[in-house]
């Protein structure tokens, strides 16, 4: 069965640099950040830097995630005229079940509490995808399968996460993954919620960002392993996504990714590119919004897609063909081929 390409038709976002998608995307485009000292201290006795969402009240735990997610979803729902939540499945992206410091009960309660916060009920084909940073690509794959059946017209892919909890920070600091006064090769923790509205791509005179291919791979040489890194998993994901889209790496104009400051990720991306690009390019830019909002876990996928969509619509991209790629600490790698189609004059 042929799976349809998906067009992004709406978005919503809450991040440390903006409480809606336009504000967040504009700040990321301007390379602004909101890194500040948190209430957590590292082993060297210095305050850990983080990127906190400035909510109106100091909510904590699951309630904080619900508030952020509800804000992003409300904005996304408002971007689709006449959109009915009851007819719209929600693919909710969450942290991996083994992620250090993951809040208890979010699989069972977060979805229902968010529905109550919004006062809506989503379609019964909604599902939770707890695969961390790669969740959004998995969600889009499921969305394509649902759309192919013909019964579903629109689907929301949303993610919410926060790494700004004591147990999470302690675990990452112990493994030298966190940027601290004693470790320069690490990421700045953050939090965010983001959502995108997708539908089957159709010929239209309106501009649209389309996901034309999705690919998956498994990397054995993970960041915690002792194996030499060859980027086999990311290469596999690249090739699968490009084949699905019927194109090649030479046609891509730039990349947007979940890289968040650790040298491992940049090395892997460079190796994967060297093994898949067969055309000389003067420039092949790579965007990593985590430079502005920090490491936001499962929320990063929808963030990347919303940023790519907003940037393309405003003419801020170096071209219309985009490669988006993400990876999890467990070794899962995903890639998505995106193509922006400018609107045609009537």
Cα gap 235→218, rounded to integer Å: 9
Distance between CA atoms of 200 and 167, rounded to whole angstroms? 41
| Residue 133: partners with Cβ closer than 8 Å, 6 or more residues away | 258, 297, 298, 300, 301, 326, 327, 328
CATH of the domain at 37: 3.40.47.10
pLDDT for residue 344: 63
Indicate the helix (H) or strand (E) that contains 75: helix 61-78
Q: Is residue 134 pLDDT above 60, yes or no? A: yes
Residues 193 and 85 in one domain: yes
Which of 176, 200, 224 is at the close of a domain? 200
Structure confidence by residue, pLDDT tens digits, 306-315: 999 999 999 9
Kindly tell me the number of DSSP H helices and DSSP E strands found in the chain: 9, 12
Among 173, 200, 227, the domain-final residue is 200
Within a domain: 314: yes
Supply 26's token pair.
């504009």
Mean pLDDT of 335-341: 97
Structural domains counted in the chain: 2
Which of 163 and 344 is assigned the larger pLDDT?
163
Q: Are residues 52 and 132 in the same domain?
A: yes
Taking 90 as the threshold, does the pLDDT of residue 9 lie above it? yes
Q: What digits encode the pLDDT tens for the residues 273-330?
A: 999 999 889 899 999 999 999 999 999 999 999 999 999 999 999 999 999 999 999 9
Distance CA 289, CA 268 (A): 18
* Pair (248, 325) in one structural domain: yes
**213/194 same-domain check:** no
Rounded to an integer, the average pLDDT of 115-135 is: 97
106: in domain: yes
- pLDDT computed for residue 12 by the predictor: 98
User: DSSP string spanning 229-274?
Assistant: P--HHHHHHHHHHHHHHT--GGG--EEEE---S-HHHHHHHHHHHH
156 and 215 part of one domain: no
Q: Please identify which residue in the block is written with the tokens 């400035």.
A: 54
Claim to verify: residue 225 and residue 259 sit in the same structural domain: yes
Mean pLDDT, the chain, rounded, equals 95
Residues of the chain with pLDDT > 70, as a percent, come to 99
pTM, entire model: 0.96
- Residues 136, 263 within the same domain: no
Q: Which residues pair with 238 in a beta bridge?
A: none
Q: Are residues 189 and 56 in the same domain?
A: yes
| Mean pLDDT, residues 37-66 | 96
Does 259 fall in a domain? Answer: yes
Beta-strand relationship, 191-200 and 286-287: unpaired
185 and 272 share a domain? no
How confident is the model over 218-231, as pLDDT tens digits? 999 999 998 999 99
User: In Å, how far are 31, 65, 211, 259 from 27, measured between CA atoms?
Assistant: 6, 22, 24, 18
Is the pLDDT reported for residue 111 higher than 50? yes
Are both 140 and 259 inside the same structural domain?
no
Residue 261 lies in domain: 208-341
Q: Are residues 269 and 174 in the same domain?
A: no
293 inside domain: yes
Listed residues 157, 172, 200: the one ending a domain: 200
**Shared domain check, 196 and 306:** no
Tens digit of each residue's pLDDT (9 = 90 or more) over 57-81: 999 999 999 999 999 999 999 987 8
> Which class for 66: exposed (0-12), middle (13-18), buried (19 or more C-beta within 10 A)?
buried
């Amino acid at each position: 069965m042929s799976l349809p390409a998906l067009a992004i038709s709406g978005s919503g976002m809450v991040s440390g640099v903006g409480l809606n998608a336009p504000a967040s995307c504009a700040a990321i485009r301007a390379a602004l950040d909101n890194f500040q000292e948190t209430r957590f201290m590292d082993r060297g006795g210095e305050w850990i830097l983080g990127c906190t969402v400035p909510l109106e009240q100091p909510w904590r735990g699951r309630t904080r995630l619900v508030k952020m997610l509800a804000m992003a979803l409300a904005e996304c729902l408002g971007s689709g005229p006449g959109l009915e939540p009851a007819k719209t499945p929600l693919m909710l992206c969450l942290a991996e079940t083994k992620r250090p410091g993951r809040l208890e009960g979010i699989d069972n309660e977060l979805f229902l509490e968010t529905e109550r916060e919004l006062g809506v009920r989503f379609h019964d084909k909604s599902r939770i995808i707890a695969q961390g940073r790669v969740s959004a690509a998995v969600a889009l794959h499921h969305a394509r399968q649902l759309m192919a059946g013909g019964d579903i017209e629109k689907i929301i892919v949303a993610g919410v996460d926060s790494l700004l909890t004591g147990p999470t920070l302690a675990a990452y600091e112990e493994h030298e993954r966190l940027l601290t006064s004693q470790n320069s090769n690490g990421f700045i923790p953050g939090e965010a919620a983001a959502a995108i509205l997708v539908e089957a791509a159709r010929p239209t005179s309106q501009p649209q960002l389309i996901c034309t291919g999705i690919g998956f791979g498994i990397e054995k040489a993970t960041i915690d392993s002792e194996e030499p890194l060859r980027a086999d998993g990311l290469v596999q994901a690249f090739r699968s996504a490009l084949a699905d889209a019927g194109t090649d790496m030479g046609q891509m104009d730039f990349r947007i990714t979940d890289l968040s400051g650790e040298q491992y990720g940049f090395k892997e991306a460079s190796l994967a590119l060297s093994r898949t690009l067969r055309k000389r390019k003067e420039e092949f830019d790579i965007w990593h919004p985590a430079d502005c909002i920090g490491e936001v876990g499962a929320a990063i996928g929808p963030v990347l897609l919303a940023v790519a969509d907003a940037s393309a619509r405003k003419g801020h991209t170096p071209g219309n063909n985009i490669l988006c790629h993400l990876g999890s600490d467990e070794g899962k790698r995903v890639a998505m081929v995106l193509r922006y189609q400018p609107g045609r004059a009537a």
